[in-house]
Amino acid sequence: MLLKENTPAPDFTLPDQEGNLVSLSDYRGQKVVLYFYPRDNTPGCTRQACGYAAAQPDFSAAGAVVLGISKDSAASHQKFAAKYSLPFKLLSDPEHKVLEAYGVWQEKKLYGKVSMGVVRSSYLIDEEGIIRRALEKVKPDQNAADMLALLKD
């Protein structure tokens, strides 16, 4: 279950695709679009990331930073970001501590098989670190546009 809107976003520190440590608190004073996705280089995740990349100028104009998080390694993120020229940070959470803190590490069923995994979700966090919007089971092709619309509201 996702975190509730109008509550503080849990702070975290994770490595980005370059191996640099990034904390949510580094972005106090800016809006943050935090999106969680299952895996680098899969069709849906690639479309989602490319949607955010295409809309990057609009997010910047709205004063928002985009951060993507999955359980993939920093090395995997580096290849993924380079392959698709992604202009934002991808953060690595292989132990899924942040994924669990944000409620996106959930039981999933596929073809009758039950496993744990990332439910594609996104959060809009304001300048004070408060969750303003939480979207669960987002569509990869629509996610960036939906978050941009929420930013403009």
- The residues annotated as belonging to the active site are 45
Give the C-alpha separation, 96 to 47, whole Å: 23
Count other C-beta atoms under 10 Å from residue 106's C-beta. Answer: 16
* Contact between 107 and 17 (Cβ < 8 Å): no
What are the start-end ranges of the H helices in 17-122?
Answer: 43-54, 56-61, 74-83, 97-101
* Contact between 67 and 35 (Cβ < 8 Å): yes
